[in-house]
Structure 1
Amino acid sequence: MTELGTSPLLAVDQLSVRFLLGPGGRRGIVHAVSEVGFELRPGQVLALVGESGCGKSVLAASLLGLLPANGQLRGAARLGELDLLRATERTLAAEVRGRDVGLVPQSAASHLTPVRTVGAQLVEAVRTLRPELDDPEAHAVELAARAGLAPDALRHYPHELSGGLAQRVAVAIALAGEPRVLLADEPTVGLDRPLVHRVVDTLAELAAEGKAVLLITHDLAAARRVATHIAVMYASRIVELGPAAEVLGEPWHPYTGALLGALPGGGFRPIPGNPPELTALPEGCAFCARCPEAPGYPPCTGDPRLHRYGERYVAAHPPIEAPRTEVAASYAVR
């Protein structure tokens, strides 16, 4: 694990993303990401968890400049000295995507060309991103091994691979440009538990090599297995953030506790109700209508800002006996 004093590779501050529905937003505005912030350092695995539709994948797309035309951005996201939100498309394509930042997409098989072997596709990625290499085929074999693939897997076509092997191919392709940051967007969707473990363990091994990994997932069990830090997202906002062992061992936000309670090992208690529509977010705490603690805390009608407690951050009105420091500009993974 890299020393905590290491400068962040990725620093996100007060990032907001909204989509205008209809000309000028006349049909509504989707508040997909609201004032999100974190820092990600070499060797860290930050798991961004939450129910589907809370804004996790939109966050990843915004960092790579992959939003549709009706998307609007505010805030800042820096990759080293580069401001990702204000970089040109040419800069993002030439310097960021696949090079400094590798993306492991959802449903990897659907992102692979069906009429070419996965080895040919991996070699093509190496040739494109590392043109200085004299032997791209040999490097492709090395990447496959780092992603946990046997050499003979490269001879297969995508339809011949299991879901887990296809995800490993996606990891290998994401590594082709030797990125410093990996964005893994729901890389375990549709996989059985042993395959989930293999994929996330590969991400943990890459973090141990010094890469920074943002793991976007709704699978808290997978996050618990590999994450160094956890950020819990609900209705477009981060509501709790901190070291994984602390957040999962003693959740402070009621939503984090509810997510853990919904796991089979946590009693398998479904969370009542549904998340609010991102076009009509309620005043105050967005989780209030589903929260088992809300009746006892009238301040839930106010705007719950993120507060810091040592290395922990929580956006709620919790009964925590500790000095609270409101975070106005950033709430970082330390």
Structure 2
Amino acid sequence: MTTIESAAAPAPSRNAVGRPLLAVDGLGVQFRLRDANVRAVSDLSLTVRAGELLAVVGESGCGKSVLAHALLGLLPGNATVTGHAVLHAPDTDPVDLVTCGQRHLARKVRGRRVGLVPQSPATALNPVRTGRRLLAETLRAHGRDRQDADRLAADVGLDPADLDRYPHELSGGMAQRLVTALALAPDPSLLIADEPTTGLDRPLVDHTLDLLRRRCDNGAAVVLITHDLAAARRVADTVAVMYASRVVEHRDTDRLFTAPAHPYASALLDALPDRAFRPVPGDPPMLTALPPGCAFAPRCPRRADDCATRPLPTPAAGGGTVACHHPIPTGAVT
């Protein structure tokens, strides 16, 4: 059974988005185990534009974090990645993040053109360097003034005095804010934020979300991976709903929250305390044994015989896509 955090009122405005910055086409990720293959991401396609904040939501284990790590080449050796993820920039040639190789990712992409706020900050910080030294080294490596460290700390809601502590001396929320500052230090055109509000109280959650929103308003792009539908509704331009390794709905935020087209997206919203407060019934399938058809069919009240075949993304009302044989009529073109 699944419950989701409460949703707050959305931000009143969104900026228009610009040119494509990241184009993902047919991305797949499989992990080879001794007795099985885990299909963590399947045939995923989406585009993120300059100025856009895309929120990726869904139940734990659906593939959200694997997507982030696949884009940056941070998967273990038993992973196989297929498809394409082309990163565009105005002053450099496009680069396919899937095929360019680790050397190029390490030297030209990670922490430069693409920043990552990791889900587990404690494992991402060097334990023998203070936060100030980590931040100063990052700034210097990218040609920025190391004196900007205090300003960056303040931007993410961290007391600059806390930069003089070692990682083990920081609380979980303080470590989360430090890794956010480190990801922002090179001023990347694309920021992937994997659960960036974990361990933060509500004022700091709002502070962090506003910081991400401002980056998009200034022309960068953000992919926000989150369980918090309140966060998605508050700051995102678009939302991609993942289920069992696939994106089942990808639409404008306001349209998705007011008229979801996919039964799973509707069930997620119905789990909110300010709606029906009804958990999604049943459990998601194992990623080692995904059905050939619609993976949500066993939990879906709208299932029919044709759900035994996999639905492909089709246009949804008002833009975006939905992958469902029987979408909710108010949410999709039928």
- Normalising by structure 1, we get a TM-score of 0.88
Q: Distance in 1 between matches of 2:146 and 2:82?
A: 42
TM alignment of 1:53-72, pairs within 5 A? 53-72=61-80
Paired with 1:193 and 1:64, the residues of 2 have a C-alpha distance of 30
1:52 aligns with 2:60: yes
Work out which of the residue numbers 292, 306, 310 in structure 1 matches 2:313: 306
Contact 1:107 1:187 in 2 (8 A): no
Note if contact 1:2-1:42 (Cα within 8 Å) is conserved in structure 2: no
Match for residue 93 of structure 1? 106
Shift of 1:323: 5.0
Cα 1:221–1:319 change in 2 (3 A) is closer
Q: Is the 8 A contact 1:283 1:302 kept in 2?
A: yes
Report the Cα offset of residue 209 of structure 1.
1.9
Report the alpha carbon displacement of residue 319 of structure 1 after superposing the two structures with TM.
4.6
Separation in 1, partners of 2:272, 2:201? 16
Residue from 43, 58, 70 that aligns with 1:35: 43
- Determine if contact 2:113/2:189 at 8 Å carries over to the other structure: yes
Match of 1:270 among 276, 279, 284: 279
Among 5, 15, 18, the residue aligned to 2:27: 15
Question: Contact between 2:173 and 2:199, CA under 8 Å: does it hold in 1?
Answer: no
In 1, Cα distance between equivalents of 2:328 and 2:192: 35
- Alpha-carbon shift at residue 113 of structure 1 (Å): 3.0
Structure-2 residue corresponding to 1:283: 292
Q: How many Å separate the matches in 2 of 1:146 and 1:234?
A: 34
Moved beyond 6 Å, runs of 4+: none
In 2: Cα distance, 1:243 partner to 1:319 partner: 16
Identity percentage of aligned residues: 53
Residue of structure 2 equivalent to 1:328:
none
- Aligned CA-pair RMSD: 1.9
Counterparts of 1:1-334 in structure 2, within 5 Å, are 3-4=16-17, 6-22=18-34, 27-80=35-88, 81-128=94-141, 130=142, 132-133=143-144, 136-294=145-303, 297-309=304-316, 310-316=318-324, 317-320=326-329, 323=333
How much has 1:194 moved relative to structure 2? 3.2
Q: Deviations over 1:264-313 (max 9, x none)?
A: 2223211111110111111211001111232xx33322221110134121
Q: CA deviation at 1:2?
A: 5.7
Structure 1 residues 41 and 2: alpha-carbon distance in aligned structure 2, compared to 1, 3 A threshold:
farther
When normalised by structure 2's length, the TM-score is 0.88
Tell me which moved more, 97-106 or 65-74: 65-74
SS of the equivalent of 2:24 reads strand
Question: Are the counterparts in 1 of residues 114 and 188 from structure 2 also a CA contact under 8 Å?
Answer: yes
Once the two structures are TM-superposed, the CA of residue 167 in structure 1 deviates from its matched residue by 1.9
Q: Which moved more, 1:202-211 or 1:312-321?
A: 312-321
Tell me how far apart the structure 1 counterparts of residues 266 and 198 of structure 2 sit (CA, whole Å). 23
Q: Deviations over 1:167-201 (max 9, x none)?
A: 22111100122210000011123434333222222
Tell me the number of residue pairs that the alignment of Structure 1 and Structure 2 aligns.
313
Question: d(CA) in 1 for partners of 2:116 and 2:333?
Answer: 39
- Amino acid of the residue matched to residue 19 of structure 2? S
Distance 1:158 1:19 in 2: 31
**Native 8 Å contact 2:137 2:146 kept in 1:** no
User: Alignment partner of 1:174: what SS?
Assistant: helix
